[in-house]
Amino acid sequence: MIFRHIRDWDDAYANGPNIPGGDRWPDAWVEPAANFRRNLEQAERAEMDVAYGSGERNRLDLFKPEGEPAGLVVFVHGGYWRALDKSFWSHLAGGALAHGYAVAMPSYTLCPTTSIAGITREIAAAITHAAGLVDGPIRLTGHSAGGHLVARMVSATSPLSQALQQRIAHTVPISGLHDLRPLMRSQMNDALRIDEAEAASESPALLAPIEGARVTCWVGGGERAEFLRQSELLANIWIGLGASTACVAEPDRHHFNVIDGLADPDHPLTQTLLG
């Protein structure tokens, strides 16, 4: 019998130092994202910096397919709730756009300027605004901290309206963080400021899913053990609480390239999200 015990919680959630060439990210996303935006703007299929709230970072980009949208995909970025913005990920809209979906990508206020609970409310506002611009089913996906945030949208205490909840056809958290309690033991918590009360109220794995929730937890097979555990945790707990769940560990993917499939209309990640 092998027992596991984690002593270094910072290392458990450290991605870059544990990926060969990991220092290439997030810069590796900048050029493809910028090129994608440029092409969509030239084709008049992009609405940039659409305000969804009063905060400085309460802005979203909306990418539109050719013709009437089949529905709306919302992608929420990661960065441990304390870094990055919507500009790094634009190219990841490519897969869903090719299938006729509009794609919204919001930025949000970062910790410690706000709390994780505050970001949850902002993402709900962003989805609500985008959903008012695009009819049809809504599909949610997000990476890392963004995976947490989209799972939060289909938790029983979701700030989304009942009508919007009923439009959500599928939620795909990618490398999501669904139990916030371990992060309280990391140095990141100097900025995140998670306490026991917020961990209890903002951890999807500690909440029930909304009625009819359909969730696929996607994670890279080569990721840190904690990301694998967190994805399996949500899928296992929520299936026992009435949700339809699956957990997919994509082989040979690490924390930074696990999202690449969203740019490809034929990749299993895009097919799963839209399926």
Domain membership of residue 193 (yes or no) is yes
Per-residue pLDDT, averaged over 141-161, amounts to 98
Q: What are phi and psi of 266, to 5 degrees?
A: -100, 0
Amino acid 207: pLDDT: 98
Whether 3 has a pLDDT exceeding 90, the answer reads no
Contact predicate 75/97, CB 8 Å: no
Cα→Cα distances 124→119, 121, 180, Å: 9, 5, 19
Contact predicate 254/223, CB 8 Å: yes
* Distance separating alpha carbons of residues 164 and 15, to the nearest angstrom: 34
Domain membership of residue 1 (yes or no) is no
Q: Which helix (H) or strand (E) holds 246?
A: strand 244-250
**% of residues, the chain, pLDDT over 70:** 100
The tally of domains found in the chain comes to 1
Domain membership of residue 191 (yes or no) is yes
Query: Among all chains, which residue has been given the structure tokens 């371990």?
Result: 182
* Domain extent at residue 119: 9-274
Q: What is the pLDDT of residues 72-126, one digit of tens each?
A: 999 999 999 999 999 999 999 999 999 999 999 999 999 999 999 999 999 999 9
Whether 2 has a pLDDT exceeding 80, the answer reads no
Burial letters 119-157, b for 16+ CB under 10 A, else e: bbbbbbbbbbbbbebbebbbbbbbbbbbbbbbbbbbbee
Domain membership of residue 3 (yes or no) is no
Domain membership of residue 2 (yes or no) is no
Q: What is the pLDDT of residues 99-109, one digit of tens each?
A: 999 999 999 99
Cα→Cα distances 242→126, 156, 175, 200, 212, Å: 27, 12, 22, 20, 8
Domain membership of residue 4 (yes or no) is no
CATH number at residue 155: 3.40.50.1820
The pTM (predicted TM-score) of the whole model is 0.96
Per-residue pLDDT, averaged over 154-171, amounts to 98
